[in-house]
Amino acid sequence: MNKVWFITGASSGFGAELAKAAIDRGDQVVATFRKAAQASDFTIAHQGKGLGVLLDVTQPAQIEAAVQRALQQFGRIDVLVNNAGYGTIGAVEEFSMQEVRDQFETNFFGAVALTKAVLPLMREQKSGHILAISSAAGFKATGGFGIYNASKFALEGFNEALAQEVSPFGIKVTIVQPGPFRTQFAGSSVKLAGTRMDEYKTTPVAQMYHYISRIDGRQEGDPVKGAHAIVDFVHGEGKTLRLPLGKHSLDAIKAKLRAVQADLDANEQVALSVMYQ
């Protein structure tokens, strides 16, 4: 059965490739852009199969308008992809509170607002699939990535609970956890902390600054293959809560699980010692 997708952040990277992959599969796609010209070009390029709409996920009024445009064009939304977002690099201490809030407004609150706008439609349909484009960094944190980690950790917690809440309505939720892919994430989409502190020059933060400066264009993941894997997962009725993508993602998640298990083993007696007898 053909599906109607609603994909945010479709100007580049996973969003752009997902839109192409879904249309190639025979689906219809509502793709969102922050520039009107890009939205218009998408609509023209995909006559009848694709609709480009203007949307900044941090603007509630635009969210409602975009959802209504999707319904007017295709009558339903089967797959919501909360993809819009960006990365930040820097020590937690280096970020201003405004920079922290801006990161959460896009990566977390924008996804929450759009999900809330689409859920009534999916409940009425008694079907739907919500995809949260998280990251391996949404499961395992790294020094120098802390604010980005926090926004993605929040996204994962939200969707883990959401999956349990909406399952009775026939709605599925999947957290997609890519590792490094050759998108614009390490290039034009990444923002560095506005302040640089000398105190962090010999810490893991400095290593992260160095990593992000040399990894762009050398990442292990192919976004075209990643997009097709996601589309195949959705059409294959994928039911798992998490979908890791790439070797780095698998390795990072497994390392986190081992570390958590080691902490549990080391502190099991302490944990049990606080119980009422």
Report, as residue numbers or ranges, the catalytic residues. 134, 148, 152
At residue 154, the 3 state secondary structure works out as helix
Which residue, 66, 65, 55, 77, is CA-closest to 3? 77
- From CA 12, how far away is CA 33, in angstroms rounded? 10
- From CA 204, how far away is CA 195, in angstroms rounded? 16
Contact 158, 107 (CB under 8 A): no
- Classify each residue of 9-22 as buried b or exposed e, where b means 16 or more C-beta atoms within 10 Å of its C-beta: bbbbbbbbbbbbbb
Beta strands per DSSP E along 34-182: 50-54, 79-82, 87-89, 128-133, 171-178
